[in-house]
Amino acid sequence: GQNIDQPTEMTATEGAIVQINCTYQTSGFNGLFWYQQHAGEAPTFLSYNVLDGLEEKGRFSSFLSRSKGYSYLLLKELQMKDSASYLCAVKGETGGFKTIFGAGTRLFVKA
Amino acid sequence: DGGITQSPKYLFRKEGQNVTLSCEQNLNHDAMYWYRQDPGQGLRLIYYSQIVNDFQKGDIAEGYSVSREKKESFPLTVTSAQKNPTAFYLCASSIDRVSTEAFFGQGTRLTVV
């Protein structure tokens, strides 16, 4: 079956670094996405990885290992506004169309 | 400003009534999607459309219907056949079906009483 696993909740301190892991099992792979979603709001796109390695974008970085079915999102210099849910999603191969979403990791940033 | 708009933000309906959720985009995107989000679960695909006058069932289409008469619009009807309709509904669009990024609307929280 197809499955995406990520931790339910994490807590970190303002100014620190946090790593949110995601493991996936899907029939085919056309890329992995990370989205940020504040409570009651729309998800917003953070990153896209299709090749192995690290993609850096400001305070956020995302890593992918296709052989291990593993990704992580790294958030540096945490700010209070980073408190949100982070959704890991994989675009499968069938029709290159369907995207499967994980349940999300709720991150709490404390002062 | 280009974007994707869902309305209303909150919607209450009585059990047994059909209700239609609006989704409009002015991004000139071909592909549009409807997702449902429940607490503790990932987004689940209800319906998607690759082009005007074409749409396909997603993973949880039962009890829902859609239309795509215009490129800009992709309304979702939650029918009385949907057994558990209370949820947060998200509409999204992308340039095409293979695009690497989807843009989401602000969502509609539907409560059926």
Which residues are CB-contacts of A62 (< 8 A; sequence separation ≥ 6)? A32, A34, A46, A47, A48, A49, A54, A55, A71, A72, A73, A74
Q: Exposure string (b/e) for A68-94, b if CB count within 10 Å is 16 or more? A: ebebbbebeebeeebbbbbbbbbbbee
Tens digits of per-residue pLDDT, B25-34? 999 999 999 9
Which one-letter DSSP state was computed for residue B9?
S
| Residue contact A43–B101, C-beta within 8 A | no
Contacts of B90 in chain A (CB under 8 A): 42-43
How confident is the model over A95-109, as a mean pLDDT? 84
* pLDDT value for A30: 86
Q: How confident is the model at residue A1 (pLDDT cuts 50, 70, 90)?
A: low
Share of chain A above pLDDT 90, in %: 77
Contacts of B44 in chain A (CB under 8 A): 101
* pLDDT value for B1: 64
Tens digits of per-residue pLDDT, B82-96? 889 999 999 999 887
Among chain B residues, CA nearest to A4: B42
* pLDDT value for B39: 84
pLDDT < 50 regions, chain B: none
* pLDDT value for A26: 86
* pLDDT value for A100: 86
* pLDDT value for B95: 85
Q: How confident is the model at residue A2 (pLDDT cuts 50, 70, 90)?
A: confident
Residue A4 sits at the chain B interface (C-beta within 8 Å): yes
| Residue contact B102–A45, C-beta within 8 A | yes
Token match 């503790």: residue?
B40
* pLDDT value for B3: 92
Select the residue of B42, B48, B106 nearest A41 (Cβ to Cβ). B106
SS3 for A75-95 is ECCCCHHHCEEEEEEEECCHH
Tens digits of per-residue pLDDT, A48-100? 999 999 999 999 999 999 999 999 999 999 999 999 999 999 987 655 567 88
